[in-house]
Structure 1
Amino acid sequence: MSNSLAWLAPHDPFPGVEQTWGESDPIPGLLAAGGQLDAQHLRSAYRQGIFPWFSAGQPILWWSPDPRMVLRTSDFRLHRSLRKTLQRFRATPGCEIRIDTAFETVMRHCARTPRPGQDGTWIVESIIEAYCELHREGDAHSVETWVDGRLVGGLYCVALGQAVFGESMFAHATDASKIALAALVAVCRRHGAAQIDCQQATPHLASMGAQTMPRRDFLTVVSQEQRKPRMDWHFDAVYWDWLGLA
């Protein structure tokens, strides 16, 4: 018999992740519904390995899947084609990585960019408002791919100490989102951050080195990493050397 789903009032604490629905329940990975969506609650959720994911017209839904898709920064696969792309990007005037110069714009591009097999978006207005608040408080960041003064790709993430949680990315030019992800990996390696949470398993992420990890192991790393000092969120071209592009 399935456990009943926890319904949260605005200031209720999150239930323990061991109450997350499993494979024998109606929606595996779902932990709770309701509650409140703001920077404070997002920060509390991520510290416990929980994240929001819902569509327009649905209540706030909170998830903590087991296993978890995680990219260990040491396992990032720099395939030959992407290596050439990065080397060309690095050497081309007008091509640059920027961090946190267009956070809300990156989120809105992520929301609007069509994706195969996906109808609509989970990045609804309340999500944008909450993550922009978290960004203003220094715990959410955008990594942006710019070409000749135009934003052509990027991603946004949450970072608590050195615990990094990837959220979504977009590309309006070939490989622009992959370039942003590679830049994020370079920043993480530069600061010693161990992993980037990818939440859900996809073939694309697996091809770049992400693997599933038991939730208990994931939470152990998150607990360790979030106690470390905040990373310095800027990008210098020398950071590409952390990917072996020197």
Structure 2
Amino acid sequence: MIPSEVLLQGYRLGVFPMAMDDGEIEWFSPNVRGVIPLDKFHVPHALQRVLRKGVFEIRVNTAFARVMRHCAARPDTWINGEIIRSYTRLHEMGHAHSVETWVEGKLVGGLYGVSVGAAFFGESMFHTITDASKVALCALVDHLRARHFVLLDTQWLTPHLKRFGGVEIPRQQYMHLLTRAVALVRHFEE
């Protein structure tokens, strides 16, 4: 298991761990970093209609381990048992969080990540039905905005995240934003 303080210090320094195919844990700090500026988050029109229908129930931190297991349950994953145990411990300490989407009492999507100061580091997301992870992302952004977070780190930019306003920024700019964000006091749970 990765010690919790090592994980938290890694995030403060702009690095994050991933399990390799051989089970070894490596640390990454991409030259360009994916972020979603919270003030420029964009909800695509089709998803706005889904949100208005109110099909999904949003819950926070009610099924953290299940969200992680769902995120890990794919053919090509960087989430192994050591990562699950390490982040579950961070969750127990109040630093790792899940945002979940439920339909009729069934977990159908969600995401998890780590909060340090006013920064949230999105780790992974999953869905078992269409739009469930997208709704969780929208709920996360609302949650972060309401608590005055200033950084949503997505690690790498994917075409999916770009649709929501995600951008790539150079490491130097990222480190400036990160240093400012982790120095602020924010509480994800409030």
TM norm. shorter chain > 0.5: yes
User: Which digits, 9 at most, give the CA deviation of each residue in 1:163-195, with x for residues without a partner?
Assistant: 110000000111000000000000111122122
* Mapped partners of 1:49, 1:232: distance in 2: 19
User: Which digits, 9 at most, give the CA deviation of each residue in 1:77-120, with x for residues without a partner?
Assistant: 1111011111112xx5xx311111110110000001x3xxxx43
Q: Secondary structure at the match of 1:158?
A: strand
Tell me the residue number matched to 2:173: 217
Tell me the residue number matched to 2:154: 198
The one of 69, 80, 96 aligned to 1:140: 96
- The one-letter amino acid paired with 2:58 is I
User: Which digits, 9 at most, give the CA deviation of each residue in 1:118-172, with x for residues without a partner?
Assistant: x431100000000001111111100000111111000001000211100000001
Tell me the residue number matched to 2:76: 120
Check if 1:107 corresponds to 2:68: yes
The answer for unaligned runs of 5 or more in structure 2 is none
* Mapped partners of 2:182, 2:85: distance in 1: 23
Q: Secondary structure at the match of 2:183?
A: coil
Tell me the residue number matched to 1:158: 114
Q: Say how many residue pairs are matched.
A: 190
List aligned pairs for 1:182-197, cutoff 5 A: 182-197=138-153
The one of 43, 68, 71 aligned to 1:78: 43
Tell me the residue number matched to 1:180: 136
The answer for unaligned runs of 5 or more in structure 1 is 1-35, 235-246
Tell me the residue number matched to 1:229: 185
User: Normalising by the residue count of structure 2, what TM-score does the alignment of the two structures yield?
Assistant: 0.95
Checking the alignment, whether the CA contact within 8 Å between 2:44 and 2:163 is kept in structure 1 is: no
The offset of 1:227, in angstroms, is: 2.0
User: Percent identity, aligned pairs only?
Assistant: 43
Instruction: Sort the Cα spacing of 1:232 and 1:67 in 2 relative to 1 into closer, same or farther, 3 A.
Output: closer
* Mapped partners of 2:17, 2:90: distance in 1: 14
Q: CA RMSD in A?
A: 1.4
Check if 1:54 corresponds to 2:19: yes
The offset of 1:58, in angstroms, is: 3.9
